[in-house]
């Protein structure tokens, strides 16, 4: 009889994985108050790293779902935001399939949101198997990570594994995002022109978006919106400069915790494979499924993912404990522009729901 060793190994791995997940035992050792560990999960051909730093003794693990598509987890590990959260909790900076330092052997058809949601679920269950079923797990998704995290929260009963959902400037509704960004460009652009501030830039923006329709925005038009959105907040006196992860090109090359060249290459590939799926994706009509405590954090001047999405999410989720913070001097990354207020909001939320 012929035995396929690959299939046998896969069946053995699956058996051990299910055994660990169905075990009701609790981790009996002491978790380190200064954790510095890397674990890897393997799911459907992808090998995905998760870097764990911080206060494991708290038994609170916050999984950071990075932006992009095309980012990586460790790029968020800098400044007051990460230092303060690591002092209180264990931060899990994970990469995503096809991004950052993840690797593996799978086809392009395996690069989709549903598969990435499964990857995230495997990570959650692995943390509980490794560090005890009594740990508290929170998800923190920023930008694209807010879209992926929302997909996780409305999928099956996965949210039952989570103590709380934190969405920071999350892109959970791309059509709404584009339409609200155009409205912001027009409203704030006209205000800035009237104040005689950066007139050339705002006139260029208004000219570029004037022909974009209210509905059915194309991929190319969405790209134009995104390009100007990242520039727009840098033109406003109201938005604070970065106090966190903002880096120039030399810092990114020589002092980044990840390789910026390989990250950029893999990120571009991942983004191109996902763009068709996410271009018209909207979870707004599914937000009512979320009953887990939810915290929404937004910058007032975020043109990339306008705060209207946070307002909508607060209204739609069914969570009894839900709250929205709008940071008055922030754009797309309030963890950099207003790190203390941003971090304090997270800590208060976690302490209520741990």
pLDDT in tens, 240-291: 987 666 554 444 444 455 555 555 555 556 667 777 778 889 999 999 999 9
| Beta carbons of 65 and 142 less than 8 angstroms apart | yes
Name which residue leads in pLDDT, 24 or 79.
Answer: 79
Q: How far is CA 43 from CA 35, 52, 105, 230, 246, in A?
A: 25, 19, 10, 34, 32
Average pLDDT of the residues in 46-68: 96
**Cα–Cα distance between 201 and 33 in angstroms, integer?**
49
- Dist CA 319 CA 288 (whole Å): 8
Instruction: Give dist(CA 184, CA 188) in Å, integer.
Output: 6
Give the relative orientation of helices 308-316 and 174-194 as an angle to the nearest 10 degrees. 140
State yes or no: pLDDT of 4 exceeds 80.
no
Q: Which of 6-10, 123-127, 213-217, 272-276 bottoms out in mean pLDDT, i.e. has the lowest?
A: 6-10
Indicate if the pLDDT at residue 203 is higher than 70.
yes
How do 322-327 and 294-299 pair as beta strands?
parallel
Tell me what the pLDDT averaged over the chain comes to: 87
Q: Which pLDDT does position 108 carry in this prediction?
A: 81
Are the CB atoms for 294 and 167 separated by under 8 Å?
yes
The pair of three-digit structure tokens given for residue 29, joined into one six-digit string: 């050792």
State both tokens at 215: 């509905």
pLDDT digits (tens, 9 = 90+) for 298-352: 999 999 999 999 999 999 999 999 999 999 999 999 999 999 999 999 999 999 9
Q: Are strands 46-54 and 90-94 parallel, antiparallel or unpaired?
A: antiparallel
Q: What is the mean pLDDT of residues 181-185?
A: 96
- Answer positive or negative: Cα dihedral of 174, 154, 267, 263: positive
Q: Say what the pLDDT of residue 337 is.
A: 96
Higher pLDDT, 92 or 267: 92
Predicted pLDDT of residue 220: 87
Q: What is the mean pLDDT of residues 113-130?
A: 96
Per-residue pLDDT, 250: 46
Query: What is the pLDDT averaged over residues 45-66?
Result: 96
The pLDDT of 77-106, averaged and rounded, is 93
Residue 269, pLDDT score: 63
With contact defined as beta carbons under 8 Å apart, do 296 and 323 qualify? Answer: yes
Which pLDDT does position 206 carry in this prediction? 96
Residue that the structure tokens 């190319």 belong to: 220
What is residue 10's predicted lDDT score, i.e. its pLDDT? Answer: 46
Burial class of residue 57 in the structure, from the number of CB atoms within 10 Å of its CB (0-12 exposed, 13-18 middle, 19+ buried): middle
Q: Give the residue among 209, 165, 205 at the shortest CA–CA distance from 189.
A: 205
Q: What is the pLDDT of residue 276?
A: 75
Q: Which residues contact 168 (CB under 8 A, 6 or more apart)?
A: 140, 141, 142, 143, 145, 146, 296, 297, 298, 334, 335, 342
Q: Are 70 and 99 spatial neighbours (Cβ–Cβ below 8 Å)?
A: yes
What string of H, E and C letters represents the secondary structure of 170-184?
CCCEHHHHHHHHHHH
* 13-47: pLDDT as tens digits: 444 444 444 444 445 568 898 999 999 999 999 99
Q: Give the rounded percent of residues in the chain with a pLDDT score beyond 70.
A: 83
pLDDT score for 6: 40
Distance CA 294, CA 138 (A): 10
What is the set of domains in the chain, with CATH numbers? 30-173+245-353 (3.40.50.1820), 176-235 (no CATH)
Task: Please give the pLDDT value at position 226.
Answer: 93
d(CA 154, CA 323): 18
């Amino acid at each position: 009889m012929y035995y396929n060793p690959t299939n046998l190994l896969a069946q053995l791995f699956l058996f051990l994985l299910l055994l660990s997940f169905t075990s009701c035992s609790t981790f009996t050792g002491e978790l380190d108050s200064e954790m510095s560990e890397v674990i890897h999960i393997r799911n459907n051909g992808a090998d995905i790293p998760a870097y764990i730093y911080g206060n494991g003794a708290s038994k609170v693990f916050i999984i950071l779902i990075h932006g992009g598509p095309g980012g990586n987890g460790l790029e968020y590990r800098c400044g007051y935001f990460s230092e303060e959260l690591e002092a209180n909790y264990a931060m899990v900076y994970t990469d995503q399939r096809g991004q950052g330092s993840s690797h593996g052997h799978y086809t392009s058809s395996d690069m989709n949101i549903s598969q990435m949601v499964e990857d995230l679920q495997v990570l959650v269950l692995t943390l509980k198997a490794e560090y005890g079923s009594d740990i508290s797990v929170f998800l923190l998704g920023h930008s694209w990570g807010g879209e992926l995290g929302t997909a996780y929260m409305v999928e099956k009963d996965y949210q039952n594994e989570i103590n709380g959902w934190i969405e920071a400037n999350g892109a959970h509704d791309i059509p709404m995002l584009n339409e609200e960004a155009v409205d912001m460009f027009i409203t704030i652009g006209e205000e800035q022109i009237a104040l005689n501030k950066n007139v050339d830039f705002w006139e260029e923006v208004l000219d570029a978006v004037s022909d974009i329709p209210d509905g059915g925005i194309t991929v190319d038009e969405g790209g134009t919106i995104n390009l100007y959105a990242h520039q727009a907040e840098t033109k406003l006196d109201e938005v604070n400069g970065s106090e966190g992860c903002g880096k120039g090109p030399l810092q990114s090359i020589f002092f980044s915790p990840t390789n910026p060249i390989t990250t950029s290459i893999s990120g571009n590939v991942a983004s191109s494979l996902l763009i068709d799926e996410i271009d018209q994706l909207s979870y707004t009509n599914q937000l009512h499924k979320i009953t887990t405590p939810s915290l929404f954090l937004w910058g007032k001047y975020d043109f990339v993912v306008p705060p209207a999405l946070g307002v909508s999410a607060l209204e739609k989720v069914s969570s009894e404990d839900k709250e929205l913070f709008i940071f008055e001097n922030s754009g797309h990354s309030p963890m950099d522009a207003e790190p203390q207020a941003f971090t304090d909001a997270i800590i208060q939320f976690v302490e209520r729901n741990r």
